[in-house]
A and B are shown apart, each in its own frame.
Chain A
Amino acid sequence: MKKIIELKNISQHYKMGRSIVKALDNVDLDIISGELTALIGPSGSGKSTLLNVTGGLVKPTEGEVKIKNGLITSLSENDLCLFRRNNIGFIFQSFNLNPTLSALENVMMPLIYARVKQDKRKDMATHALKLVGLDERKDHKPGELSGGQQQRVSIARALVNNPEIVLCDEPTGNLDSETGKEILSLITKMNKESKVTFIIVTHDINVAKICDRIITLKDGKILKDERK
């Protein structure tokens, strides 16, 4: 069992006026390659912060983050961007698609930044849209798609560059429960078929149930860590 993510002694502190908020308080966590992990806990318990620290979107106040045995907490901002480009996909609650671009163009963006050759981009993006079942809507703009469809586009965008890790922050939070289930089964399918490591932040206990591992956070600390 290969450790793909290693968090050592992570603390994240925010100054709010005079008081200090400990969003993460000495967290140690290893994630195994190919695992489907749920991160649950009450609002404000530090789930998003943990995810963002893991993905290098923010540097922790203290501690080390190693991904695929590489220390990312010591990288410069630019190198961090380059690292994310090739290794990590993100999925957010609020899709974060570019409203001026079509579904296909949105999915092509990571390929452009990753300097994938022009002739390969379209095929790769079309393939990713096919995997999420949206190839027929590839020319639609986000405004012309339903919430569930938009989230599919953003999943395709997160996966198009074949990252080993995908981090999802409440991916079903903006969707009705039916659509949420579809998105979730899509994620599990991706996890099983392409062995991508997923960490999913969620409120929804139903989401958590289908995961291999459930980590519960409270006040910036890991309260429970259960494996099936």
Chain B
Amino acid sequence: MVNNMIDKDIIKFAWMSLWRRKLRTILTLIGIMIGTAGIITMVSLGVGLEESVTGEFESGNMTNIEVYPGVNMGPTEGNSIKILKRENVNELKQLDGVKAVTPIYQTYGELNIGRESVGANFTGIDTKEVDELGYQLKEGRFPRKDSIILGSSLEGQISKNNKKDLLRSSSSISFSDGFSELEKNNTSKKYRTRITGVLKSTGGAEDYSVIMDIDELIDMVEEKNDTKDIIEKEGYSNIRVVANDMDEIDRLSKEINDKGYMAYSIKNMIEQVGSVFKFLQLFLGGIGSIALIVAAVGITNTMIMSTYERTKEIGVNKVIGASVRDIRKQFLYEATFIGLLGGTAGLILSYILSFLINTIAKIFMSGLEDNITSIPIWLALFAIIFSTAVGILSGLYPANKAAKISVLEALRQE
């Protein structure tokens, strides 16, 4: 027998039969569509999150803990630290599993190269520890005393107007107050320095920063403000603790918090964001699964109704030559179409949802470059195959029921 020819015509019958009952077909499709979209969106959140987490792994900051002074919540909490000083740095160095600790001092100033002058965030760190702090160089080497490195965006900003090799240019640092920086003859003191390297982009604030030795930076600021005890009064901006291993982060964070500081780590943030996404995944996956089950029951129900309505037609078709298998096939194809079309509609809906989620996430989480959701090809294929399988499974019972319809009973119906 010419088997492929058979199917083409029966498929056409199935298609025509669905087309004849457009509204009902569409209503049945919607269930499958919502179910598939829910499940795809759930998985795509997981995939997207995993991709952005592994992205962070690669940037190497996963072992860093940023320590800030504690916030005094009420009169009973006496042990909060309000200013970070040298002794705090020493205290944190005593902790187990710590690879390096650096105080960090941040201020705003100008970097002058040739006649060019750009505003930048100056970050002072302990240059003795610089190799351990998780910075990654794009070119050059780490700074020692009287030298600096630049964030990648800052470098880009300078290179636009300056064709000379940055690492060889003479450069200086200055701190002007307020409006005087706009004036041509800037009177503020210029400290000569050398640029020794450029950092890889991290997507964070470092991209716009100048990294330099903290003691030097503090000396400059103190000279400008005409004080001698800026750390005693204001404290460091924060302290960075670098753990030996990522697995130590949770324990270290807890110990640091217990001492009255506030500890933040990227790992911790990702976990927190992750738990929000877990919830979202469960929620969407739950809706999706329920919708898909309801939709599957819906397909079965619709098709059973259809066998009742079409009893006469099925009977007549059997009289004029349709075999039991032909009838079963036609119903199975109808169910397959519903699953396939519903799955495709669901996939399209998930692409739209995915786009919306990513757009909204980027509005609310500035600096986010990766997508939160991502629908890889295997997920799209899996979704279509899965929804089609759901369609076929839901169609099995009605198809057998239709195939068994007795010709005589069918013909007796008017």
CB contacts under 8 Å to A, within B325-351, are 325-326
Encode A103-119 as 1/0 by CB contact (under 8 A) with B: 00000011011110110
A112, B325: Cβ atoms under 8 Å? no
B324, A90: Cβ atoms under 8 Å? no
Q: Which A residues touch B411, using CB under 8 A? A: 57, 92, 96
Of A92, A96, A109, A117, the residue contacting B321 (CB under 8 A) is A109
A182 part of interface (Cβ distance < 8 Å): no
C-alpha gap A149/B257 in the complex (Å) = 93
Q: Which B residues touch A92, using CB under 8 A? A: 411
Stretch of B31-39, B95-103, B311-319 lying at the A interface: B311-319
Q: Which B residues touch A85, using CB under 8 A? A: 320-323
B317, A78: Cβ atoms under 8 Å? no
Q: Which B residues touch A29, using CB under 8 A? A: none
C-alpha gap A118/B406 in the complex (Å) = 29
A216 part of interface (Cβ distance < 8 Å): no
B231 → chain A closest CB, angstroms: 88
Q: Which A residues touch B323, using CB under 8 A? A: 78, 81-82, 85, 113
Q: Which B residues touch A77, using CB under 8 A? A: 324
A96-B316, A98-B313, A112-B9 known; A81 vs B322 contact (CB < 8 Å): yes
A188 part of interface (Cβ distance < 8 Å): no
Most buried by A among B5, B6, B320, B411: B320
CB contacts under 8 Å to A, within B17-59, are 20
A81, B313: Cβ atoms under 8 Å? no
B276 part of interface (Cβ distance < 8 Å): no
B407 part of interface (Cβ distance < 8 Å): yes
A58, B408: Cβ atoms under 8 Å? yes
B321, A84: Cβ atoms under 8 Å? yes
Q: Which B residues touch A96, using CB under 8 A? A: 312, 316, 319, 411
A100 part of interface (Cβ distance < 8 Å): yes
Of B5, B325, B406, the residue contacting A115 (CB under 8 A) is B5
C-alpha gap A171/B391 in the complex (Å) = 42
B408, A90: Cβ atoms under 8 Å? no
Q: Which A residues touch B2, using CB under 8 A? A: 115
Encode B375-414 as 1/0 by CB contact (under 8 A) with A: 0000000000000000000000000000000111001001
Encode B212-235 as 1/0 by CB contact (under 8 A) with A: 000000000000000000000000
B363 part of interface (Cβ distance < 8 Å): no
C-alpha gap A118/B316 in the complex (Å) = 22
B1 part of interface (Cβ distance < 8 Å): yes
Q: Which B residues touch A110, using CB under 8 A? A: 320-321
C-alpha gap A221/B313 in the complex (Å) = 32
A57-B408, A109-B317 known; A78 vs B5 contact (CB < 8 Å): no
* 7 additional contacts (CB under 8 A) given A57-B411, A110-B321: A58-B406, A78-B325, A85-B322, A90-B319, A96-B411, A98-B316, A113-B323
- In the assembled complex, 18 residue pairs joining A and B whose CB atoms fall closer than 8 Å, in A order, are A58-B406, A58-B407, A78-B325, A81-B322, A90-B320, A92-B411, A94-B414, A96-B312, A96-B319, A96-B411, A98-B313, A113-B321, A113-B323, A114-B321, A115-B5, A115-B6, A118-B5, A158-B320
Q: Which 7 pairs of residues, A with B, have the shortest CB-CB distance?
A: A113-B321, A85-B321, A81-B323, A78-B324, A110-B321, A110-B320, A96-B316
- The residues of A with any CB-CB pair to B shorter than 8 Å are 52, 57-58, 77-78, 81-82, 84-85, 90, 92, 94, 96, 98, 100, 109-110, 112-115, 117-118, 157-158, 161
